[in-house]
C-alpha cells in the first residue's frame, strides 16, 4: 500500500503536468488577476475565521479581486490542484507540503496555520479491547495517507515496535467515520471535526501534542503557487495580512472566533472552541522566530522539521527524493509575513 501511494504520486505528476502550462497561464503575468483561488480545509483555524469574517475581501476590496474558495479533504487533492495551476493558495498538513516540495510542485511555504496538538489523535473503539498502542498489533487502523495524522501514527507504531504488525487503511475523513460506524476498523488517527465523532464511542491512545513532546512536530501550513506569489507579491502579503488579523481576533475574542468558525463549519460554537484549543496558534512574530520559519536572512528550525519529515517519508517509500537543504531554504519563504508585519506596524 505504501508502494502504490508512491506510484500514484508519479502518475499524478505525469498526467497533470500535461495541463500545467495551459492552466497556469491565467495568472502567469504581472497583471492583477480577476480572481484568487483558495484551497482550504474545513477546520477551525485562522483561514476559516478570515473567510467567515470577510477579511480576505477587506484586504482585496480596493483591488476589485474576487475570491473563490475550494474545499479539500486532504493535502493530496490540494497538491493535485497546485500542480494543475487551478488554485493559488492551498492549506494542508506539513507532510503534504514536503511531498509537494519533493515531487517538484512549484510552490512555497508562506504561513503556519497552527502547530497540531490535541486536535489530532489516535482513537480506538471502546468495544475493541485495546488498552495500549501495542494492543493494535494485528488490528486495522485507518488514517489519511501522507497526512500529518499518518506521519504521527507511523512514528507511534514504530516507537511501540509494531509498525509491521498493523493493517493500515488509507481513507478520507468521511470514509473513516463510516467505517468506524460499521465496525470495519479498530482505530483511526484523524483530526477535528471528525475526531469528535469517533470519541463518542472511542478512547484516545495518543495525541499529536504528546507526539510533539517526543520530537514529532506536525503543523498545518499554507502554500502559495509560486507562479502566483512571485508575480503578485503585494496580493500575497495582503492574503497574509488577512490571516494575521484573524489570528488577532481569536486571541482577543475567542468567543467570537468560535461563533465565526461554527457558522462556517455548521457545528456548535462550544465544539469549535474546544477544537481550536487543541492546536497552538502562533503569532506572526513567533512564526518568523528561530524556532519556526525564521527570517529571509536565516531560516529557522522548521526547515529541519521539513528535512526530518522528508527522510521519514522516503523511508516509507512515499517520496523518491529527499530535498536538499538549498531546496528547503527556497521552499520556506517568510518574506510575506515580514512585509505584512512591516505594513501593519506603520
Distance, in Å, from the CA atom of 32 to the CA atom of 287, rounded to the nearest integer, reads 28
Model pTM? 0.86
* 346 pLDDT above the threshold of 70: no
Distance, in Å, from the CA atom of 186 to the CA atom of 130, rounded to the nearest integer, reads 9
Q: Which has more confidence, 274 or 23?
A: 274
Sign, Cα dihedral of 131, 132, 137, 140: positive
pLDDT, tens only, 159-180:
999 999 999 999 999 999 999 9
* 220 pLDDT above the threshold of 50: yes
* 17 pLDDT above the threshold of 50: no
* 128 pLDDT above the threshold of 60: yes
Domains of the chain in start order, with CATH, are: 2-116+218-345 (3.40.190.10), 120-213 (3.40.190.10)
Amino acid at each position: 500500500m505504501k508502494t502504490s501511494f508512491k506510484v500514484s504520486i508519479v502518475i499524478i505528476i505525469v498526467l497533470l503536468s500535461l495541463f500545467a502550462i495551459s492552466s497556469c497561464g491565467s495568472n502567469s503575468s504581472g497583471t492583477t488577476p480577476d480572481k484568487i483561488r483558495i484551497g482550504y480545509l474545513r477546520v477551525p483555524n485562522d483561514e476559516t475565521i478570515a473567510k467567515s469574517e470577510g477579511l480576505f475581501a477587506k484586504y482585496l476590496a480596493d483591488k476589485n479581486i474576487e475570491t473563490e474558495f475550494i474545499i479539500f479533504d486532504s493535502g493530496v487533492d490540494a497538491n493535485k490542484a497546485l500542480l494543475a495551476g487551478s488554485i493559488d493558495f492551498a492549506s494542508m498538513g506539513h507532510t503534504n507540503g514536503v511531498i509537494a516540495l519533493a515531487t517538484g510542485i512549484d510552490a512555497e511555504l508562506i504561513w503556519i496555520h497552527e502547530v497540531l496538538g490535541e486536535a489530532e489523535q489516535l482513537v480506538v473503539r471502546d468495544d475493541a479491547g485495546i488498552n495500549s498502542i501495542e494492543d493494535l498489533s494485528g488490528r486495522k487502523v485507518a488514517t489519511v495517507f501522507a497526512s500529518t495524522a499518518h506521519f504521527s501514527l507511523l512514528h507511534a507504531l514504530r516507537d511501540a515496535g509494531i509498525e509491521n504488525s498493523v493493517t493500515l487503511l488509507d481513507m478520507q475523513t468521511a470514509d473513516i467515520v463510516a467505517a468506524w460506524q460499521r465496525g470495519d476498523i479498530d482505530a483511526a488517527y484523524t483530526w477535528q471535526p471528525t475526531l469528535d465523532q469517533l470519541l463518542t464511542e472511542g478512547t484516545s491512545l495518543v495525541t499529536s501534542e504528546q507526539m510533539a513532546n517526543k520530537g514529532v512536530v506536525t503543523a498545518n501550513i499554507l502554500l502559495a503557487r509560486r507562479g502566483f506569489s512571485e508575480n503578485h507579491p503585494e496580493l500575497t502579503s495582503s492574503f497574509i495580512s488577512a490571516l494575521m488579523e484573524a489570528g488577532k481576533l481569536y486571541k482577543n475574542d475567542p468567543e467570537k472566533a468560535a461563533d465565526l468558525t461554527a457558522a462556517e463549519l455548521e457545528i456548535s460554537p462550544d465544539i469549535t472552541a474546544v477544537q481550536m484549543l487543541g492546536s497552538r496558534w502562533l503569532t506572526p512574530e513567533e512564526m518568523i522566530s528561530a524556532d519556526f520559519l525564521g527570517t529571509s536572512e536565516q531560516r529557522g528550525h522548521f526547515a529541519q522539521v521539513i528535512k526530518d519529515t522528508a527522510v521519514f517519508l522516503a523511508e516509507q517509500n512515499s517520496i523518491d527524493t529527499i530535498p536538499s537543504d538549498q531546496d528547503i531554504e527556497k521552499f520556506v519563504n517568510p518574506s510575506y509575513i515580514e512585509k505584512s508585519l512591516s505594513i501593519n506596524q506603520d
